C-alpha cells in the first residue's frame, strides 16, 4: 500500500521543522474551484490528477518522491526538534533522496526526447544541474533574510529550503513529463496574487478571438511575469532585513545579489519547463507551447513558496481576503499533487 501525503502536509512539515519560520498558514494556498484559469494548478482536496477523483497508478518517479517525503516525515517524528544538527541531517538526507529520484527520471526524459528527435535530448544533464545549482544559490541568499539567520537555526532553514527546491523540481516533472500515466498537478495560488489574476481573468474572459491558442499562451506568460514582478517588489525589504541582521552588509548590494540569484533560478526553471513540455504528452501537438506557458506560472508560484519559507509575513496565501472565491491556477480543473 502506497503512502500518499496530502498536499497540505508540506506546509505543516516545514512549519514543524522551523518553529518560527512561518505562521499558522504561511505556506498554504487558496483552494481552487472551477474557474477561468487553464493551467495545471489544482483542487487541493484531491489525491490524483483525475478530475473524477478516481485513483490512477503512480509513475515510478512519483512513487519514489512520495517515498522520500514519507521517510523524511518519519525521521522528523523521531528526533529531538531542539537539535539543529539532527534537523539538518534529515533535510540533507531528504534532498539526497529527491535528487536520486529526479536524476533517475532524467533518463526517461532524455529517452522521450530522443525518440522524438528533439535537440534537448543531449542537454538534460546541464538542465538538471543548472536548475539545482541556481535553486541552492537562491536559498543561500534568501535565508540571510530569515529572522534566525544569525543563530544556530540558519543551517536548518537553508537545508529545508534546498530540499523544498528539489521537491518543487520533482513536482514540475510529475506535472508535465509524459511518464506513461495521467500527470499530477501543482497547487495554484490565486489568492496570493489577486491583482495578477484579475488581469489574467480579463485576458481570458475577453479574448480578441484571432488566435485563441496564442492568446492563451500570452495570458499564461503575462500571469507568470506578473507574479515574478510581485516577488521582485519584495527584494528591497528582504535586502533591508539582511543588512539589519548582518551589520556591515550594504542593503543596495544585497538587493542586487538577491535579484540576480532569483532571476537565475527562474531562468533555469524556465528551461526546465521547455524540456518538460517537449517530453510531455502534447509534445507533438499544437498545445506544446501552452504547456510550457502553464509551467511558467507553476514555477513562478513555487518561487513564492521559497520566499514564504524565509519571510512568511511578506507573502501569504490571501486567506485574510474573505472575498477570494478561488485560488488554483486552473481553478481546480485538474488534479492535485499528493506528495
Find out whether 141 and 241 touch, Cβ atoms under 8 Å. Answer: no
> In the predicted model, what is the mean pLDDT of residues 234-250?
95
For residue range 48-103, what is the model confidence (pLDDT) as tens digits? 333 344 454 568 999 999 999 999 999 988 877 668 889 999 999 999 999 999 99
Which residues are CB-neighbours of 302 under 8 A, at least 6 positions away? 168, 171, 172, 186, 269
pLDDT (0 to 100) of residue 115: 95
- Proportion of the chain above pLDDT 90, given as a percent: 65
Number of Cα atoms under 13 Å in the Cβ half of residue 47: 11
How many residues does this entry show for the chain?
339
Which residues are CB-neighbours of 111 under 8 A, at least 6 positions away? none
Q: Residue 337 — φ and ψ, nearest 5°?
A: -80, 135
The angle at the Cα of 57, spanning 53 to 63, to the nearest 5 degrees, equals 115
pLDDT (0 to 100) of residue 334: 28
For residue range 119-128, what is the model confidence (pLDDT) as tens digits? 999 999 999 9
Provide the Cα torsion 109, 110, 111, 116; round to 10°.
100
Higher pLDDT, 318 or 35: 318
Mean pLDDT of the chain: 80
- Return the SS3 of 278: helix
- Can you list the alpha helix ranges (DSSP code H) found in 8-153? 9-17, 60-76, 84-115, 124-142
pLDDT (0 to 100) of residue 14: 43
| Confidence check: pLDDT of 294 > 80 | yes
- Proportion of the chain above pLDDT 70, given as a percent: 76
| Confidence check: pLDDT of 325 > 70 | no
Strand partners, 42: 334
Compute the distance between CA of residue 215 and CA of residue 210 in angstroms, rounded to an integer: 8
pLDDT (0 to 100) of residue 57: 59
Q: Residue 178 — φ and ψ, nearest 5°?
A: -80, 95
| Confidence check: pLDDT of 226 > 60 | yes
Q: Tell if the pTM clears 0.85, that is, is over it.
A: no
| Confidence check: pLDDT of 192 > 50 | yes
Q: Residue 334 — φ and ψ, nearest 5°?
A: -115, -175
pLDDT (0 to 100) of residue 28: 32
pLDDT (0 to 100) of residue 317: 53
| Residue 334 per-residue DSSP state | B
For residue range 134-186, what is the model confidence (pLDDT) as tens digits? 999 999 999 999 988 887 788 999 999 999 999 999 999 999 999 988 778 88
pLDDT (0 to 100) of residue 83: 82
For 249, the grid coordinates are 552588509
Find out whether 166 and 41 touch, Cβ atoms under 8 Å. Answer: no
Which residues are CB-neighbours of 147 under 8 A, at least 6 positions away? 20, 245
Amino acid at each position: 500500500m502506497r503512502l500518499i501525503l496530502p498536499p497540505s502536509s508540506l506546509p505543516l512539515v516545514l512549519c514543524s521543522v522551523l518553529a518560527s519560520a512561518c505562521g499558522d498558514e504561511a505556506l498554504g494556498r487558496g483552494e481552487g474551484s472551477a474557474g477561468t484559469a487553464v493551467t495545471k494548478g489544482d483542487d487541493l482536496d484531491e489525491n490524483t490528477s483525475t478530475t473524477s477523483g478516481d485513483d490512477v497508478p503512480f509513475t515510478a518517479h512519483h512513487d519514489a518522491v512520495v517515498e522520500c517525503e514519507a521517510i523524511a516525515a518519519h525521521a522528523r517524528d523521531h528526533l529531538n526538534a531542539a537539535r539543529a544538527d539532527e534537523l539538518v541531517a534529515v533535510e540533507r538526507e531528504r534532498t539526497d533522496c529527491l535528487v536520486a529520484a529526479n536524476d533517475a527520471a532524467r533518463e526517461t526524459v532524455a529517452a522521450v526526447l530522443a525518440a522524438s528527435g528533439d535537440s534537448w535530448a543531449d542537454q538534460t544533464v546541464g538542465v538538471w544541474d543548472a536548475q539545482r545549482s541556481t535553486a541552492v544559490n537562491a536559498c543561500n541568499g534568501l535565508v540571510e533574510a530569515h529572522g534566525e539567520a544569525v543563530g544556530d537555526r540558519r543551517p536548518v532553514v537553508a537545508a529545508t529550503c534546498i530540499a523544498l527546491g528539489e521537491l518543487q523540481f520533482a513536482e514540475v516533472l510529475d506535472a508535465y513529463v509524459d511518464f506513461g500515466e495521467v500527470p499530477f498537478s501543482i497547487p495554484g495560488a490565486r489568492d496570493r496574487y489577486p491583482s495578477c489574476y484579475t488581469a489574467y481573468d480579463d485576458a481570458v474572459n475577453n479574448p480578441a478571438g484571432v488566435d485563441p491558442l496564442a492568446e492563451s499562451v500570452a495570458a499564461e506568460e503575462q500571469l507568470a511575469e506578473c507574479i515574478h514582478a510581485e516577488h521582485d517588489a519584495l527584494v528591497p525589504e528582504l535586502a533591508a532585513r539582511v543588512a539589519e541582521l548582518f551589520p556591515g552588509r550594504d542593503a543596495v548590494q544585497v538587493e542586487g545579489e538577491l535579484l540576480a540569484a532569483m532571476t537565475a533560478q527562474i531562468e533555469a526553471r524556465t528551461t526546465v519547463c521547455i524540456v518538460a513540455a517537449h517530453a510531455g504528452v502534447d509534445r507533438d501537438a499544437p498545445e506544446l507551447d501552452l504547456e510550457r506557458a502553464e509551467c511558467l506560472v507553476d514555477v513562478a508560484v513555487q518561487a513564492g513558496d521559497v520566499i514564504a519559507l524565509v519571510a512568511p509575513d511578506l507573502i501569504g496565501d490571501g486567506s485574510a481576503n474573505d472575498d477570494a472565491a478561488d485560488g488554483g491556477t486552473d481553478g481546480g480543473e485538474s488534479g492535485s499533487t499528493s506528495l
